[in-house]
Chain A
Amino acid sequence: MNCDYCKNKLSAFIDNELSSKERFLMEEHLKACPSCAREVKTLHQLVVLFGGIPEEAPSPAFVQTTVNRAAVIPRHSFWNKLFLNPAISFVKSAVAFVFAPDGYGAASRKNLSSRGYLRSFDDSPPGSFADVYLSVIQGGGN
């Protein structure tokens, strides 16, 4: 293990994050290298320095105000969620439209069919987008 490699691994060494083999090699290197050994000592001092910084005490009301705020969060039941979900609402509307026997769905389908909207592209009026599109893809464009 050389000094460059060792110095890159010193933090992992003092954090006890090296594998047992790497740790052994590091310890062997530190016995023989005063420069790296000094670096380890300095990093240990840094850790001690950080540990001596006092913690900040939270304000006494923190827990209660947090719980109070949670208490007013609306919590929806399964059925509420089912009815409030926009995707599910869309599916419900679509199902109602298609399968309603005598209501809006049936009347609308009949109405649309009688106006020819549900037949085919061939019935599209001359000059309409569908007409132009069909002529292009059939090779009959201008």
Chain B
Amino acid sequence: MNEPEAKIMTDVAGGDLAAFRTIVELHHKPLINFIARFTGDRDSAEDIAQEVFLRVFKVAKDYRPQAKFKTWLFTIATNLCLNEIRDSKSSPKIVDLSDLYEQGYPVIAPEAFSPQKAAENAELSAAVRKAIRNLPEHQRIAILLRQYNEFSYNEISKIMGITSSAVESLIQRARQTLKKSLSPYL
């Protein structure tokens, strides 16, 4: 595996904070979004993402470049997310765009801003987030890793510690459920 992270991780293993910063800068955005979509809680997503990166820093010596760095990173994140969900007995909070605006977080809009468009986007975002949040944990992880992080079924199987055919089944079932819950928007 000849990816830039392999060299950077060698430096991180030696305690190089600049190298660690590079890793965080490269991966924090997709990681935070993955965790936020999984937990449904924007604030705890940053806390969990920080724990993921600190774990990377602590165990950098254990990283083997044979494994794709992103796969390794998301394996740690997935485990921490599952722990978080099991630790917090309460159901995760719904986060929609209006919540984020109120909390003062900027939201990246793909198109030019217009109030009507923003309202439609907010409603759609809330509906999709709610539909994702209602999926069983393992279906949620599998569909998020595929849909937003573009992992292959084989990579997802490594992250989740299951077979590729089990991943295929999880994604298939997740999409069937999402199709039903989002039918007004399809």
Within 8 A of A (CB), among B104-135: 105-110, 121, 124-125, 128-129
Contact of B107 with A46 in the complex, beta carbons under 8 Å: no
Residue of A nearest to B43 (CB): A59
In Å, the complex CA distance between A52 and B129 comes to 12
Docked pose: A43 CA to B25 CA in angstroms: 33
With contact pairs A66-B50, A70-B17 given, residues A46 and B110 touching in the complex (Cβ less than 8 Å)? no
The reply to whether the CB of A47 lies closer than 8 angstroms to some CB of chain B is yes
Known contacts: A17-B152, A46-B186. The answer to whether A54 contacts B107 by CB under 8 A is: yes
Inter-subunit contact A54/B152 (CB<8 Å) = no
In the complex, how many angstroms separate the beta carbon of A55 from the nearest chain B beta carbon?
5
Beyond A12-B153, A49-B128, A67-B20, whether A73 also contacts B107 by CB under 8 A is no
Assess the B28–A63 pair: CB atoms within 8 A: yes
Whether a CB of chain B sits under 8 angstroms from the CB of A30 is: no
Knowing A46-B175, A53-B124, A53-B125, say if A59 contacts B53 (CB, 8 Å).
no
CA gap between A60 and B24 in the complex, in Å: 13
B168 adjacent to A49 (CB under 8 Å)? no
In the complex, are the beta carbons of B106 and A63 less than 8 A apart? no
Contact between B110 and A11 (Cβ–Cβ < 8 Å)?
Answer: no
Question: How many of chain B's residues have a CB under 8 angstroms from any CB in A?
Answer: 47
* Interface pair A15/B146, CB less than 8 Å apart: yes
Q: Would you give 29 A-B contacts (Cβ < 8 Å), ordered by A?
A: A8-B172, A11-B168, A11-B172, A12-B168, A15-B171, A17-B168, A43-B179, A49-B128, A49-B182, A50-B128, A50-B147, A53-B125, A53-B129, A54-B97, A54-B108, A54-B109, A54-B121, A55-B108, A56-B32, A56-B33, A56-B105, A57-B107, A58-B28, A58-B32, A63-B24, A66-B24, A70-B17, A70-B57, A73-B57
Q: Residues of B at under 8 Å CB distance from A?
A: 15, 17, 20-21, 24-25, 28-29, 32-33, 36, 42, 45-46, 49-50, 53-54, 57-58, 97, 100, 105-110, 121, 124-125, 128-129, 146-148, 152-153, 168, 171-172, 175, 178-179, 182, 185-186
Q: Which 10 A-B pairs have the closest CB atoms?
A: A11-B172, A70-B57, A57-B106, A11-B171, A58-B32, A45-B186, A67-B21, A17-B153, A75-B15, A50-B147
